[in-house]
Structure 1
Amino acid sequence: MKTANALEFKDSGEGDPIADVAKELAELKVALETKAANDNSKLTERLDRLEAKLNRPNNRPANDNEPGLETKALNKFLRNGVGALDDLERKTLNLGTNTAGGYVVTPEYGKTVLEKLRRYSPLRGLASAMTIGTTEVYIPTLETDADGEGWVTETGNRTSTEPVFGQLNIKTFENARYIPISQQLLEDADIDLLSFVAGHIAKITGKVEAKSFMIGDGNGKPTGLLNTPTNYASITAAPDGSDIVGKLIDAFYALPGEYAANGSWIMRRETMGLIRKVADAAVGSIGYSGPIWSDGLANGTPATLLGRPVYESVDMSLLPTASGTTYPVVFGDMESAYQIVDRVGLAIRVDDLTGADNGVVKVRWRRRVGGAPLLNEAAVLIKSTKP
């Protein structure tokens, strides 16, 4: 018997075999065309329904300026919880640990927060960073280079030498806060909720991380770059700032060239102002002919000091005004000098119970992050002591 997907050859003992083959091919072609028409009927019906739906009144045309699916999904989640999301919207969210309450964050949301974090923490954008899947990480460090030059004669004895390695252990710590938002604000469709929440999370988290990365003591928080300033080489400046420009030049050339080529300056805004005041006047007196300070040529680009970028950190100290020692300026290759470790980039959830009596919804978030100095020789400090 003939089928739609097979050729049947008959041997009648008579007739033309070529004609028989041609007939079979023609019948197969008709069968395939009929099958394709039947398969496309359902697709055609579906397209007709979609077209009719689009032609209904009050249907708005597509607008490139409308929020993306990720933004809409996040806003719906913040207002109504995970249960309000359909399957497609769930796929736009990265669902976290279920036992932790279903933490969610869109890729777009996380990127926005990280970009804003860098504005508050210069080290977040300058230091080396990695993401890990455990509580802590061990990073091998080179404590001592292999010694000896190793020159030998053709048949002379070869002696062994080996470097000494160590390990740097960096633990991660949790930073968790929440933002209370009124229920009515969440229900207001005209509010750009994504930008509102992202801005506040970035501001609060950024300030906390920036302080820990610079001066954290490692007790429940990251160990800061300047937690132990005596571990670095330093150049001593007068507490009144009278010789600050000359000392900055000394610090620049005290740092090994391979680090200075990628170096950045970090200091308080007040220290920047002091340097700018005395820079031009000091050039002639110290015998330096090059430019000391140059403002950024484009909006948002940092100023440069001796050709290297300058970044502001409110957590740096100033020149001493009372008895004691301060470290107001650090210059170094921050990627080599400091290591940031991210465990949980960002996790948020909505708590609509604990503040319900007051009409408040709490947007909670948490991050797990660690940090520690990596290579002390990659940075140099300006030190100042007042008796």
Structure 2
Amino acid sequence: MSELTMTGAPEMKALPETVKEAFDEFMTAFEAFREANDDRLEEIEKKLSADVVTRDKVERINKAIDEQSKLIDQLALKKLRPQLGRSGGTPDTIAEHKAAFDAYVRRGDEAGLRELEAKAMSAGTPADGGYLVPEETDGEIGRRLAAISPIRALSTVRQVSGSVLKKPFAPGGMASGWVAETAARPQTATPELAELSFPTMELYAMPAATQTLLEDAAVDVEAWISAEVDTAFAEQEGRAFVLGDGVNRPKGFLAYPSVHEAGWTWGNLGFLPTGAAGGFSASGPSDVLIDAIYALKAGHRQNAEFVMNRKTQGEIRKFKDADGNYLWQPPATAGGRAQLMGFPVTEAEDMPDIAAGSLSIALGDFRSGYLVVDRTGVRVLRDPYSAKPYVLFYTTKRVGGGVQNFEAIKLVKFAV
């Protein structure tokens, strides 16, 4: 909101610079939203419809809350961007790799990296395939991806050295039984094993820099590469982990077949219908959320989290229980998580908007339910020829993903 100065000119309010300042403004906006929404509900009870001005006010404040929440996320992410640290290896080895990589990026000098790969007796990657970035840069990209890509942050992450991770899984568990102290122990039934395969797909980015920039000794080249590729990688990953079809990209959990929870079988994700096409049921709209919670087994329910986008969360934010308490609760502290009926809420903008037949809400134990597979190493190939006078840095990372436990994730479908 702008304020008037002594001269009558509007003065723009500065954006908050810290998470605490943004959180304070977020809570102020949420209190205003509760008051306005209470007025809207009271008007509906008295007149069977809400005043247009009140309804618009609620939507305006609801949108402001979303923007403030987004700003908090951005400020929190900024705090997660420390200076590149050292991880793994001796200080001398790390420094040697960093110097060799710096020489390669700035001048195209491959001698240092070739020597390091020979010392390590590594199969490595030839010049036409690029070179592994130093360990601290690789780790930095991974941390920042987890901060930006919400599904990665929720899921189990495995690192592999090959191109495919194969994982056996026993859908029915191991057979067991009771027996007397001196009775015979007959062999139990052989468990059914399913093999799940998670191939890694190539994700790439190609930032460009002028030779002048690279020759500037004040520029931290490793930090620059991390800053260029982390957001690009995270956006692609985040969408693939939700909607990816598994062709040249990870398979998202919404790409798997879904069936009504009453007819759930292994290999499918169970869904609960809202009872209305393209919206929540007019009578007891939050009942479907309770059904989804208790569709999960207790072991998964205690670790469950809601996943939805901001628009869907904006609709749910208006719901109250029978005692007049809001089901959605703001974070208790700056940098905390919003809660819905006692479960954390994760915003994933790649989740579908509410529409007829959409699967716009997921609830589950994603640590058990979804697996992200990273092939070790981020590779960089320097290309000074293709886009003169710019130097291109073809940066690649191999990533896979898919559902590993089909009973750990439930969906809410906006359908009858």
Q: TM-score, normalised by structure 1?
A: 0.71
The one-letter code of the counterpart of 1:269 is R
Which residue of 300, 305, 308 corresponds with 2:335? 300
Aligned residue for 2:198, secondary structure, equals: strand
Q: Residue 358 of structure 2 aligns with which residue?
A: 326
Work out whether 1:233 is the aligned partner of 2:274.
no
Aligned residue for 1:123, secondary structure, equals: helix
C-alpha distance in structure 2 between counterparts of 1:244 and 1:142, whole Å: 36
TM-superposed CA distance for 1:337, in Å, is 0.7
Which residue of 364, 367, 370 corresponds with 2:397? 367
Q: Kindly report which structure 2 residues correspond to 1:31-46, keeping only aligned pairs within 5 A, or say none.
A: none
Q: Residue 355 of structure 1 aligns with which residue?
A: 387
Work out whether 1:252 is the aligned partner of 2:293.
yes
Higher deviation after alignment, 141-150 or 212-221: 141-150
Work out whether 1:346 is the aligned partner of 2:378.
yes
| Contact in 2 for aligned 1:95/1:105 (Cα 8 Å) | no
TM-superposed CA distance for 1:208, in Å, is 1.0
C-alpha distance in structure 2 between counterparts of 1:214 and 1:195, whole Å: 29
Which residue of 294, 316, 321 corresponds with 1:283? 321
C-alpha distance in structure 2 between counterparts of 1:188 and 1:158, whole Å: 75
Superposition CA RMSD, Å: 3.2
Work out whether 1:183 is the aligned partner of 2:220.
no
C-alpha distance in structure 1 between counterparts of 2:104 and 2:127, whole Å: 18
C-alpha distance in structure 2 between counterparts of 1:196 and 1:261, whole Å: 40
The one-letter code of the counterpart of 2:298 is G
Query: Would the alpha carbon gap of residues 343 and 157 (structure 1) be closer, same or farther in structure 2, given more than 3 Å must change?
Result: closer
Superposed CA deviations along residues 247-291 of structure 1, whole A, max 9, x for unmatched, are: 222211221110011112111111111111x13xx212xx697x6
Higher deviation after alignment, 339-348 or 212-221: 339-348
C-alpha distance in structure 1 between counterparts of 2:151 and 2:195, whole Å: 22
Query: Would the alpha carbon gap of residues 249 and 85 (structure 1) be closer, same or farther in structure 2, given more than 3 Å must change?
Result: same
Q: Kindly report which structure 2 residues correspond to 1:1-387, keeping only aligned pairs within 5 A, or say none.
A: 69=95, 74-83=101-110, 85=112, 96-146=124-174, 149-150=177-178, 158=186, 160-230=188-258, 231-237=268-274, 238=276, 239-241=278-280, 242=282, 243-276=284-317, 278-279=318-319, 282-284=320-322, 292-320=327-355, 324-356=356-388, 359-385=389-415
| Contact in 2 for aligned 1:266/1:311 (Cα 8 Å) | yes
The one-letter code of the counterpart of 1:327 is L
Query: Would the alpha carbon gap of residues 288 and 377 (structure 1) be closer, same or farther in structure 2, given more than 3 Å must change?
Result: farther
How many residue pairs are counted as aligned between the two chains? 310
Which sections of structure 2, spanning at least 5 residues, go unmatched? 1-82, 87-94, 259-267
The one-letter code of the counterpart of 1:179 is P
Aligned residue for 1:170, secondary structure, equals: strand
Q: Which has the larger radius of gyration?
A: 1
C-alpha distance in structure 2 between counterparts of 1:86 and 1:370, whole Å: 28
TM-superposed CA distance for 1:329, in Å, is 0.6
Higher deviation after alignment, 147-156 or 377-386: 147-156
| Contact in 2 for aligned 1:104/1:349 (Cα 8 Å) | no
C-alpha distance in structure 1 between counterparts of 2:165 and 2:116, whole Å: 35
TM-superposed CA distance for 1:159, in Å, is 6.7
Aligned identity (percent) is 26
Superposed CA deviations along residues 73-95 of structure 1, whole A, max 9, x for unmatched, are: 54443111234759999999x99
Higher deviation after alignment, 65-74 or 76-85: 65-74
Say which structure is richer in strand.
1
C-alpha distance in structure 1 between counterparts of 2:196 and 2:85, whole Å: 44
C-alpha distance in structure 2 between counterparts of 1:348 and 1:269, whole Å: 35
